[in-house]
């Protein structure tokens, strides 16, 4: 199952891949944090005198529960790494706390603030609307990812309401300093996270710009995803990709030998999935999803002829084009496991039928997020929250913008914006890296003008 900018699985790809790509530390099955969703500005490690800029450090240090961890220079402005003490359960503040990491790129107290959620770990990249607005930027690490977790984790406290409450606490703490316009943004799972924040705390932000944010309102109905794979690209490309995916399972013995060799080279194990054979099949199921998540129709001519390709040619091409390896090392508590836990519990996943593979599959029930999780992180699905968010966005959401990619599987199931100054755009011929800058010229001009208006510019 990609991660939405981790690998694909979600169950069909949310991360940029949560499993491990044979050639990369992350797989394509998670919704990606939208790879390429914004230019990344390298941070200097040179310390700067943040106190000299608007006296901002002194003001930060006066915020209750906030700790200034470090400050560096980024583009001539102070870039702070911070933590805020958060309750593990916002409904029971006395139940314990953890330190949630976030960063602040400070330009001016009077400039707008872009509040960015990546949906996973901490990111230092500069977001598209931050550049557009010349804004300050706050970037938050999702609860229970990486360092933002208590010493002992109760995975029941990892849910969208608790994270929305974390975001609310950070925004309210910083609004004591930044009494200006606040715009939320995020891509893929980060875009989803921003939508959930807006739903539960609609007074925090002046507007939200969410990129490639999936909306799995009905986890039992995956017809939109099925239709996407019947229509994306050209008939010739779809046929070639399906043939390669099928041939990988037809030649299971030869492919599994190579898969096991790759896994051994990287010291990967498959206790969570149960065996290398099960992990191999799981990876093959994600292959076409991952191709479209990170590739484009221009990659179609390179798809090999499934019948004529040698075993090595078939495996090598697949390894570089969507074959993510879902190993224990990437899917536990220290890796993408928290994402898959959220998918299993609330976010949902795409359970595709794979009719063209029916006679060559061995594990018909494997394609779901609990399959890649350790036993203590598995859980039952509760669809009430996604249905509630879907209804709220469509009827009561205000000043919300959704940007999707035409050829992105994660963009198939979209949020429907309300009539309250809310908008939806689709970037043509674009994958999971959709941006406002990739819209048609007219749509880009309109969208940028709307964002500036929301920011008071």
Is 309 a domain residue? yes
What is the structure's pLDDT at 159? Answer: 98
Is 334 a domain residue? yes
Q: Are strands 400-405 and 30-31 parallel, antiparallel or unpaired?
A: unpaired
Quote the DSSP letter at residue 41: P
**Which parts of the chain have pLDDT scores under 70?**
1-54
DSSP string, 313-374: HHHHHHHHTT-EE--HHHHSTTTTHHHHHHIIIII-------GGGTTT-S-TT--SGGGGS-
Is 102 a domain residue? no
What is the structure's pLDDT at 72? Answer: 96
Is 343 a domain residue? yes
- pTM of the entire predicted model: 0.91
- A 10 A CB-CB count for 93 gives 11
What is the structure's pLDDT at 426? Answer: 99
Closest among 30, 10, 144, 20 to 88, alpha carbons compared = 144
Closest among 192, 39, 16 to 127, alpha carbons compared = 39
Domain, as residue range, for 34:
3-38+233-377
Is 353 a domain residue? yes
Is 93 a domain residue? no
CA distance 221 to 224: 8
pLDDT tens-digit series, residues 419-456 = 999 999 999 999 999 999 999 999 999 999 999 999 99
Is 46 a domain residue? no
Is 215 a domain residue? no
How many domains are contained in the chain?
1
- Asked whether 112 and 89 are in contact (CB, 8 A), the reply is no
What is the structure's pLDDT at 105? Answer: 98
What is the structure's pLDDT at 181? Answer: 99
């Amino acid at each position: 199952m990609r991660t939405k900018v981790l690998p694909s699985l979600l169950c069909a790809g949310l991360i940029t891949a949560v499993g491990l790509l044979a050639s990369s530390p992350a797989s394509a099955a998670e919704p990606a944090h939208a790879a390429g969703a914004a230019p990344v500005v390298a941070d200097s490690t040179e310390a700067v005198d943040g106190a000299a800029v608007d006296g901002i450090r002194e003001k930060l240090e006066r915020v209750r529960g906030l700790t200034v961890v470090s400050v560096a220079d980024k583009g001539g402005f102070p870039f702070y790494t911070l933590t805020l003490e958060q309750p593990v359960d916002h409904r029971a503040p006395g139940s314990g706390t953890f330190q949630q990491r976030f960063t602040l790129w400070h330009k001016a107290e009077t400039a707008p603030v872009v509040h960015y959620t990546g949906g996973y770990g901490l990111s230092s990249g500069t977001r598209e609307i931050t550049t557009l607005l010349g804004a300050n930027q706050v970037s938050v690490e999702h609860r229970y990812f990486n360092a933002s977790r208590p010493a002992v984790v109760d995975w029941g406290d990892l849910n969208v309401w608790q994270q929305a409450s974390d975001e609310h606490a950070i925004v309210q703490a910083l609004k004591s300093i930044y009494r200006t316009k606040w715009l939320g943004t995020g891509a893929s799972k980060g875009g989803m996270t921003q939508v959930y924040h807006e739903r539960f705390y609609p007074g925090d932000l002046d507007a939200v710009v969410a990129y490639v944010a999936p909306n799995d309102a009905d986890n039992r109905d995956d017809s939109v995803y099925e239709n996407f794979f019947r229509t994306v690209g050209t008939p010739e490309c779809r046929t070639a990709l399906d043939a390669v995916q099928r041939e990988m399972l037809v030649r299971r013995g030869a492919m599994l030998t190579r898969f096991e060799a790759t896994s051994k080279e990287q010291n990967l194990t498959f206790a969570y999935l149960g065996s290398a054979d099960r992990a191999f099949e799981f990876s093959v199921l994600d292959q076409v999803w991952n191709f479209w998540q990170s590739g484009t129709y221009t990659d179609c001519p390179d798809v090999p002829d499934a019948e004529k390709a040698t075993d090595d040619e078939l495996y090598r091409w697949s390894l570089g084009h969507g074959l993510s390896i879902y190993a224990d090392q990437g899917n536990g508590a220290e890796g993408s496991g928290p994402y898959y836990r959220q998918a299993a519990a609330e976010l949902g996943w795409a359970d595709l039928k794979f009719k063209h593979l029916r006679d060559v599959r061995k594990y018909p029930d494997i394609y779901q997020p609990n399959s890649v999780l350790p036993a203590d992180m598995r859980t039952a699905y509760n669809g009430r929250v996604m249905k509630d968010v879907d209804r709220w966005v469509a009827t009561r959401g205000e000043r919300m913008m959704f940007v999707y990619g035409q050829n992105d599987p994660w963009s198939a199931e979209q949020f429907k914006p309300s009539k309250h100054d809310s908008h939806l755009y689709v970037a043509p011929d674009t994958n999971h890296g959709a941006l406002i800058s990739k819209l048609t010229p007219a749509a880009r001009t309109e969208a940028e003008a709307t964002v500036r208006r929301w920011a008071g510019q």
